[in-house]
Amino acid sequence: MSAGINESTRVVVQGITGREGSFHTRQCILSGTNIVAGVSPGKGGEKFDGNIPVYNTVSQAVEEDRANTALVFVPAVYAGDAILESVFAGIKTVVCITEGIPFHAMLKVKRIANTFNTLLIGPNCPGIIVPGTGKLGIMPTQIFSKGHVGMISRSGTLLYEAADQVCRNGLGISTAVGIGGDPIIGSDFIYWLEQFEQDPNTHAIVMIGEIGGDMEERAASYAKAHISKPVFAFIAGRSAPEGKRMGHAGAIITGSAGTVTSKETAFEQANIMVIRNLALIGQTVSENLSLK
């Protein structure tokens, strides 16, 4: 797949010396990710784990170590500026794990990232993983085995559950991405549907959506017109009361828009197989595919 992680990915971790950044940097390295540098303002010149250079700025990591991808573990109050620092330094893929970035800050960040043609995954997301190649984020690597099912999810924990089921049913994952649960995020379902359609290693797609907004309805319309591969979909939030925010900041129903019914109807009209029981995702995909 052209987007995400491949043999040319060179990662700089923003916030590498913090508690979360240091822990997950080590986990990413164990999964095979090529992390070439870290950034922690004021700690430039240090070495992370003895061999990864730490810089004060992202531009230094780009100049000295040819970093082209950023993984952001920066507190919410600074995370928007951290993303923009990478964008302005020429980074073309930014994965932001941080949650709680102010809404208005993300409006600015998304507009600028789009202007610079930077792929932004997140914020408030688990990241992206390509089993056997590496990961950018916090996914539990051990539940993802290599295969041909592409996965896109607004929820991190539901992504883990669905991926575990798919793998336990004898299939595997080509790429899995958590796009984030905030109202303003970078890449959406449509972007990744397009990527998976073009990816020869992905033979089927699983979408994990949830109540709130119209992202899933728009994705259904796109899939109907442009996706030839089989698509499966699950929508979380069936029992959520109207007007009640449930978990993610984007998971709120307003009127008749954003409901489970409206999203499932849109999927069915697009010939996407709707799975209504979370526990049956892996079984359903396995029974309807021959990818083993």
- What residues act catalytically? 248
Q: Which two tokens stand for residue 242?
A: 């109207």
> Is 187 in a helix, a strand, or coil?
coil
- CA nearest neighbour of 70 among 31, 22, 127: 127
> Is 2 in a helix, a strand, or coil?
coil
DSSP assignment of 59-80 equals HHHHHHH---EEEE---HHHHH
CA distances, 75 to each of 28, 98, 221, 255, 260 (Å) = 19, 7, 36, 34, 33
Check: CB of residue 196 under 8 Å from CB of residue 173.
no
> Is 181 in a helix, a strand, or coil?
coil
Rounded distance, CA 152 to CA 185, Å? 14
Rounded distance, CA 2 to CA 150, Å? 14
